[in-house]
């Protein structure tokens, strides 16, 4: 059975949990112990540790999630009605591929049960296994990475935390519809890589652009299935990571706001945090990132793709091609329609709605075609 890959929490964590007060998160979570496995029929969010970091050449120590769990379970929960379980850890296999296999099996089973896994790595190449967990779900996948690099590598390279994206793009079956990077830093990425993102009609958002206007990222998360956070995207003065020193990056407030955007997205079904240095200092911020994701989940509005268009105001903009926008009566959020184009290699089965911003609607009113809409349509027919 898939859940046999999960090792129960150790006594140190369980003893810590016994000592937390009834006001702290640790008293609200169900834990996988040697004697008991949580009843998943009552669970909405599952926290899983993956003790695999062979994909990160910079890591000198084994993955230790003790500090993260202690910091997280010592926090006070919000006014949440969400049921959470900590399912323990997936141990490193004989090879990285063995770990990928175990993680893929566990995550795929949870998603089928409509449970959202929060994965705490380990190195970011584990994102490859998260992507592969969708193989049997018969859907195209949108992946969003909060990262200072695009993580391309050579085709002949082994999968690593700095090259996993190449394997996702070239390997069959290819279920990737869109990839978006939030927070890349230009000097860490070659011009060829930046050009490749454009050529594939993917999306890259520079650190400065997002820091100046965090709301730019909200529609991107609203269309994501998987969100992968690389902790090196946070500057070291805020993260406490001085193993690989990062003078620039998101600050603590920004990365938590992005995690909340990911949580509040009705579509995000998988969230992971990777490439940390297992230190007590960095664990404080990681615990708060996870807290904000859960906070966002609590405030999900269950709009598109679950709601009907009857609850939207429709706006038609007559350009060369007619653009159709929808605005939610419930949340004031905006979408734009990607029309269905009948062709043999169409990746979409029907017309679909792409999340967008009010600014993109105003731009369309001024005869500016939204770049995200153009890329999505091109990707659909290429």
Task: For 107-153, write each residue's pLDDT tens digit.
Answer: 999 999 999 999 999 999 999 999 999 998 888 899 999 999 998 98
Average pLDDT (30-36) is 96
Contact at 8 Å (CB) between 66 and 16? Answer: no
Q: Give me the pLDDT at residue 344, please.
A: 43
The residue assigned the tokens 């279920």 is 175
The residue assigned the tokens 């091109």 is 378
For residue 253, pLDDT over 50 is answered with yes
- SS3 state of residue 219: helix
Q: Give me the pLDDT at residue 137, please.
A: 87
| pLDDT greater at residue 344 or residue 18 | 18
The closest of 113, 114, 149 to 228, measured between CA atoms, is: 149
| pLDDT greater at residue 69 or residue 331 | 69
What is the distance between the alpha carbons of residues 254 and 242, in angstroms, rounded to a whole number? 19
The residue assigned the tokens 């708060």 is 288
Which CATH architecture fits 2-298?
3-Layer(aba) Sandwich (3.40)
pTM, 2 dp: 0.93
Q: Give me the pLDDT at residue 350, please.
A: 60
The two three-digit tokens of residue 73, written as one number:
């379970």
DSSP count for the chain of H helices, then E strands: 13, 14
Dihedral through CA 209, CA 272, CA 231, CA 58, nearest 10? -130
For residue 278, pLDDT over 60 is answered with yes
Kindly report the average pLDDT of the chain as a whole number: 92
Average pLDDT (57-76) is 90
Q: 3-state DSSP: the chain helix, strand, coil percent, rounded to 5?
A: 40, 20, 40
Backbone phi, psi, residue 303, to 5°? -90, -150
User: What are the boundaries of each domain within the chain?
Assistant: 2-298, 309-381
Q: Are strands 141-146 and 226-230 parallel, antiparallel or unpaired?
A: parallel
Q: Give me the pLDDT at residue 139, please.
A: 84
What is the distance between the alpha carbons of residues 340 and 352, in angstroms, rounded to a whole number? 8
3-state DSSP of 158-218: CCCCCCHHHHHHHCCCCCEEEEEEEEECHHHCCHHHHHHHHHCCCEEEEHHHHHHCHHHHH
Q: Return the DSSP state at 133.
A: T
The two three-digit tokens of residue 57, written as one number:
């050449």
What is the distance between the alpha carbons of residues 177 and 318, in angstroms, rounded to a whole number? 28
For residue 24, pLDDT over 50 is answered with yes
For residue 60, pLDDT over 90 is answered with no
């Amino acid at each position: 059975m898939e859940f046999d890959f999960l090792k129960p929490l150790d006594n140190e964590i369980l003893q810590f949990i016994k000592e937390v007060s009834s006001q702290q998160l640790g008293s609200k979570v169900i834990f996988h112990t040697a004697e008991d496995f949580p009843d998943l029929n009552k669970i909405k969010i599952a926290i899983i540790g993956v003790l695999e970091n062979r994909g990160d050449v910079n890591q000198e120590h084994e993955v230790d999630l003790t500090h993260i769990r202690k910091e997280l379970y010592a926090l006070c929960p919000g006014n949440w009605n969400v049921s959470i379980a900590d399912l323990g850890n997936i141990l490193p296999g004989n090879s990285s591929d063995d770990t990928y296999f175990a993680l893929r099996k566990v995550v795929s089973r949870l998603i089928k049960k409509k449970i959202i896994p929060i994965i705490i790595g380990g190195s970011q190449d584990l994102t490859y296994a998260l992507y592969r967990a969708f193989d049997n779900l018969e859907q195209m996948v949108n992946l969003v990475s909060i990262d200072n690099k695009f993580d391309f590598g050579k085709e002949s390279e082994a999968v690593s935390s700095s090259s996993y994206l190449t394997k996702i793009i070239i390997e069959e079956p290819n279920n990737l519809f869109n990839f978006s990077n939030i927070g890349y830093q230009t000097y860490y990425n070659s011009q060829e890589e930046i050009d490749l993102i454009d050529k594939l009609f993917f999306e890259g958002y520079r650190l400065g652009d997002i820091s100046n206007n965090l709301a730019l990222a909200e529609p991107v998360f609203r269309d994501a299935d998987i969100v992968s956070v690389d902790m090196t995207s946070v500057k070291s003065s805020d993260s406490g990571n001085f193993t690989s020193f990062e003078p620039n990056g998101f600050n603590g407030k920004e990365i938590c706001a992005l995690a909340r955007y990911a949580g509040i997205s009705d579509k995000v079904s998988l969230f992971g945090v990777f490439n940390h240095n297992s230190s007590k200092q960095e664990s404080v911020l990681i615990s708060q990132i996870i807290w904000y994701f859960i906070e966002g989940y609590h405030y999900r509005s269950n709009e598109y793709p679950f709601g009907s268009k009857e609850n939207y105001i429709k706006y038609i903009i007559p350009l060369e091609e007619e653009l159709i926008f929808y605005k939610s009566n419930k949340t004031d959020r905006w979408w734009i329609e990607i029309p269905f184009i009948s062709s043999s290699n169409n990746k979409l089965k029907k017309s679909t709605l792409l999340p967008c911003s009010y600014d993109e609607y105003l731009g369309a009113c001024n005869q500016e075609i939204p770049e995200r809409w153009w890329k999505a349509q091109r990707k659909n027919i290429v």
